[in-house]
A = this chain, B = another copy of it.
Amino acid sequence: MKEISRDVVIGVDLGGSAIRLGVINDQGRLFGFKSIEIPQSRKKEVVLSLITEGIRKHIQDQISIGNNVLAVGIGSPGIINPDKGLVVTSPNFPGWTNVPLKSLLEKSFNLPVFLDNDANSAAFGEKWRGAGRRVNSLVCLTMGTGIGGGIILNGEVWRGAHGMSGEIGHITVNPEGPKCNCGNYGCLESYSSATGMVRSAIGSIKKGTRTILLRLTTGEIKKIDAKLIHEAAIKGDRLSLNILKEAGMYLGIAIANLMNILNPDMIVLTGAVTGSWDFFMPAAQLEVRKRALKTIVGRTRIVKGKLRGTAGIVGAAGIAWRQSGHI
């Protein structure tokens, strides 16, 4: 008698501080979630070996319970070439240039491997199993240390002509704004990412603005992070409230632009910064109502992601499921 074997895909979300992975079935259900810490050194060989061993362990587990691993889907930060399976460059891994992650893993496991940008993966995850299940098009913003973006049109990831679409963190929202790591001035990321908000806070403190952030860090301004700004805002700290409001204002400008350009069904916001939703969203909504075309405002829903920390894993696996022709 033949055993009942279930098909599964391994989903991997490669982050700056951890490799997060799990097993995803064709319904997008996640099993066996695991997070593997990446050592501070972030050496290429070490990271690649951690990824490989993490996947190997999951494959072995699946085989041992009689399941059939069809493919591996992996989302990575940075500029990705999905066709060639390369991590072209990655802000989190300075030494990585044209790393052939897809072919390296395919050789290790003799399985098809699908590599994509982490924000594309999160966007597809939210479309497949999250906030965007019932819509045809969405733009997903991943708001954390930086701001990434993924665009879903007609239910599929729009990757652009060179696999570089969705760089929404680098929309210019203020031509005269501060310089961004990308070389541009006044990028969305300069205001509405965790890094951007911390930069604003430190800048204001250096100009003499009073804030309880100083007390909360006992004067060590290097310890200020987005979480602390959120906590200070809860306590009514004027500076922190203003920073979150400004983050929302520029986010609203970017969202209005996206709505006017793409007219998607939905805008999905994910990532750690969305924890401060109540502090930044009113300002964002004000800008959207002011700046998006009147015929569009109200039709486009702006929502929080539903998969939280797992959108990237589920989406990376979903892309593998889709591209291997199984869903």
Contacts and interface: CB of A to CB of B under 8 A. Distances in A.
Interface of A: 79, 88-89, 135-137, 149, 151, 153, 158-168, 170-175, 182-185, 253, 256-258, 260-265, 290-296, 299-300
Contacts of A299: 161-162
B257 A164 contact: no
B165 A262 contact: yes
A287 to B, nearest CB: 8
Interface of A is mostly: loop
A175 B158 CA distance: 28
A294 B78 CA distance: 13
Closest 5 CB pairs of A and B: A160-B263, A165-B263, A161-B265, A167-B260, A164-B263
Contacts of A153: 153, 158
A261 B165 contact: yes
A285 to B, nearest CB: 15
Given A88-B295, A162-B299, A295-B89, A170 B290 contact: no
B137 A260 contact: no
Identical subunits present: 2
B149 A135 contact: no
B261 A166 contact: yes
Contact of A149 (B184, B261, B295): B261
B260 A171 contact: yes
B290 A183 contact: yes
6 contacts: A135-B161, A161-B263, A162-B295, A163-B263, A170-B260, A183-B294
B300 A257 contact: no
Given A79-B295, A89-B295, A174-B175, A261 B168 contact: yes
Contacts of A160: 137, 262-264
Contact of A260 (B168, B264, B291, B295): B168
A294 B182 contact: yes
A296 to B, nearest CB: 5
Contacts of A149: 261
A151 B263 CA distance: 11
Contact of A261 (B161, B167, B182): B167
A175 B261 contact: no
A133 B151 CA distance: 25
Q: Which one of A149, A164, A300 has the highest number of Cβ atoms from chain B below 10 Å of its Cβ?
A: A164
Contacts of A158: 153, 262
A54 to B, nearest CB: 28
A189 B168 CA distance: 22
Contacts of A174: 175
Given A173-B175, A253-B175, A294-B182, A161 B300 contact: yes
